[in-house]
Structure 1
Amino acid sequence: MSITYGISDLARELDVTTRAIRFYEEQGMLSPERRGQERIYSAKDLVALKLILRGKRIGFSLAECKELIDLYDPSSGNRRQLETFMEKIAARRAQLEQQLLDIQQMQLELDTAEERCLAAMAETDRKQRVTS
């Protein structure tokens, strides 16, 4: 018999709220079985939720996470899923590298603006001392 989880068990296992789990279910990212009102989550749902949480931590959109989940195919060794994941990792890394360059450029511009302000303030103070 395969391992299953109730919503509270899954939430506790991955330290997320039951509300978050229901949201991901509404987005079509999780598909629990139903026993009346009770949701029964499978090991596949656990893996999908782990992938969602990992994807969020590294900046993937929910659409990107859903795309990866939809590629889940254990019969193929998940090759397409892994290849797509690697492509998304490379794209995210390139985006972060560009953001880092942008931040460094902005810091240089802030340094320049600060130096100019300090020089202008010093000049203002010097003029005031001369006229006093």
Structure 2
Amino acid sequence: MTTRPAAVETTRTWSIAELADEFEVTHRTIRHYEELGLVTPERRGTVRIFHRRDRTRLALIVRGKRIGFPLEEIRTIIDMYDEQPGEAGQLTYLLDQIADRRADLERRRQDIEDSLAELSTLERRCQADLRSLTSE
């Protein structure tokens, strides 16, 4: 069994097409993230070369979007990793954001359950009214 040397793994790069396929996003989406400074690929002419840091950041962006964080919030969370207080501060902040997001989703779920209950009540009234109209 052969293993890759660590140096090869850290120098691995990706094209925009590879990352778009891997994360199931469009090239345009990745270019948009680049315009916002969320990823900073190396440029060789018109070719974008993405390094491990860009790939990791893209994974975090996609995950953040999937759970409903706006891009500015994602930027704050990602950028905290490189600044003081570093990863601990990033994780503390992220936990606060998760709690806020969870509370918002729980409120939405309750609103949906309340709406469904109201619809069920209205539906029962309509069915009863219809039955009384058709039995006359």
Shorter-chain TM-score: what band? 0.7 to 0.9
**Cα offset for 1:49?**
0.3
AA aligned to 2:132 is E
1:76 deviation in Å?
A: 6.0
TM-score by length of 1: 0.85
Q: Partner amino acid for 2:87?
A: N
Match of 1:130 in 2: none
For structure 1, which segment, 5-14 or 82-91, has the greater mean C-alpha deviation from structure 2 after superposition?
5-14
Alignment check: 8 A CA contact 2:14 2:49 kept: yes
Displacement of 1:17 after TM fit?
2.3
Task: From the CA coordinates, give the structure whose radius of gyration is larger.
Answer: 1
- Residue 131 of structure 2 corresponds to 122
5+ long unaligned stretches in structure 1 = 128-132
Q: Could you tell me which of 66, 78, 90 is aligned with 2:87?
A: 78
More off after superposition, 2-11 vs 102-111: 2-11
C-alpha deviations, 1:88-112, integer Å up to 9, x for none?
A: 1111111111111111111110011
Tell me the percent identity.
Answer: 45
Match of 2:63, as an amino acid? Answer: R
Give the stretch that moved more between structures: 23-32 or 5-14.
Answer: 5-14
* Separation in 1, partners of 2:33, 2:15: 15
SS in 1 for 2:135: helix
- Partners of 2:135 and 2:14 lie apart in 1 by 73
C-alpha RMSD of the superposition: 1.9
CA-to-partner distance for each residue in 1:56-113, whole Å, 9 max, x for gaps?
1111111111111221228965112111111111111111111111111111100110
